[in-house]
């Protein structure tokens, strides 16, 4: 499955406009799953590889909040509907941490191989968000203290792993960014009140072990 399946889902227009799909998905995240979201910056109309924000060297074109800022993220249906009615092409940005999901991300090639290794081990994963360059495994909320203790106990942690916790953010499907489409590599099960998420400890242990045992190179990206 590559898309959100919810009661608000609508058919895309023949023109390929993602507006209806974006607003339906944003409402599903916010109101059904209680994930705080906000609209991200859209790509520059003159060049989709550039961001619409004032930074000419933005490294996350179309995949970050700007106006409104991250603190505006909400689960309020009226606000979400107003945002995407006025900005129908805006990416959906999840404000991670607090009561919302967190994530562990790594480069796409390393992630795809790690998931194969985890499947062979019988490791249960929740939703996995994929961009052309990085994949993010959603996990239960964790604190920075909890993460610090976890990493301190490790002999080795690949430098390419990134952690999206409180104060962080993540673009969600079916957003379009300057680096390409955001999609589900592992979609949430349809009809669930809120997707099941694994603990960060289990995911970090399994990913580090899989990368180490398989010799997968995970360079900084």
218 and 212 Cβ atoms separated by less than 8 Å = no
pLDDT at 66: 84
Measured CA to CA, the distance from residue 127 to residue 197 in angstroms comes to 7
Its pTM stands at: 0.84
Q: What are phi and psi of 139, to 5 degrees?
A: -135, 170
70 and 98 Cβ atoms separated by less than 8 Å = no
Measured CA to CA, the distance from residue 16 to residue 122 in angstroms comes to 38
> 104-128: buried (b, 16+ CB within 10 Å) or exposed (e) per residue?
bbbbbebbebbbebbeeeebebbbb
Measured CA to CA, the distance from residue 130 to residue 112 in angstroms comes to 10
pLDDT tens over the chain, length 221 residues: 333 434 333 333 333 467 789 999 999 999 999 999 999 987 655 655 677 777 877 777 778 888 888 999 999 999 999 999 999 999 999 999 999 999 999 999 889 988 998 898 898 999 999 999 999 999 999 988 898 898 888 888 888 889 999 999 999 999 988 778 999 999 998 766 789 999 999 999 888 887 776 555 444 44
């Amino acid at each position: 499955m590559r898309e959100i399946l919810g009661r608000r889902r609508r058919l895309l227009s023949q023109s390929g406009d993602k507006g209806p799909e974006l607003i339906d998905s944003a409402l599903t995240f916010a109101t059904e799953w209680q994930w705080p979201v906000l609209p991200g910056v859209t790509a520059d109309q003159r060049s989709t590889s550039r961001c619409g924000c004032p930074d000419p060297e933005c490294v996350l074109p179309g995949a970050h909040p700007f106006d409104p800022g991250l603190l505006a993220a909400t689960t309020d249906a009226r606000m979400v509907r107003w945002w995407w009615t006025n900005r129908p092409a805006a990416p959906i940005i999840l404000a991670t941490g607090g009561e919302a999901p967190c994530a562990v991300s790594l480069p796409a090639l390393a992630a795809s191989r790690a998931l194969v290794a985890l499947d062979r081990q019988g490791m249960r994963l929740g939703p996995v968000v994929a961009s052309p360059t990085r994949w993010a495994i959603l996990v239960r909320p964790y604190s920075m203290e909890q993460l610090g203790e976890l990493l301190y106990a490790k002999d080795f942690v690949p430098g390419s792993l990134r952690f999206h916790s409180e104060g962080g953010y993540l673009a969600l499907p079916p957003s379009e960014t300057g680096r390409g489409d955001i999609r589900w590599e592992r979609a949430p099960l349809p009809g669930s009140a809120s997707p099941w998420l694994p603990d960060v400890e289990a995911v970090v242990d399994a990913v580090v072990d899989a990368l180490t045992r398989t010799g997968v190179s995970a360079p900084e990206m």
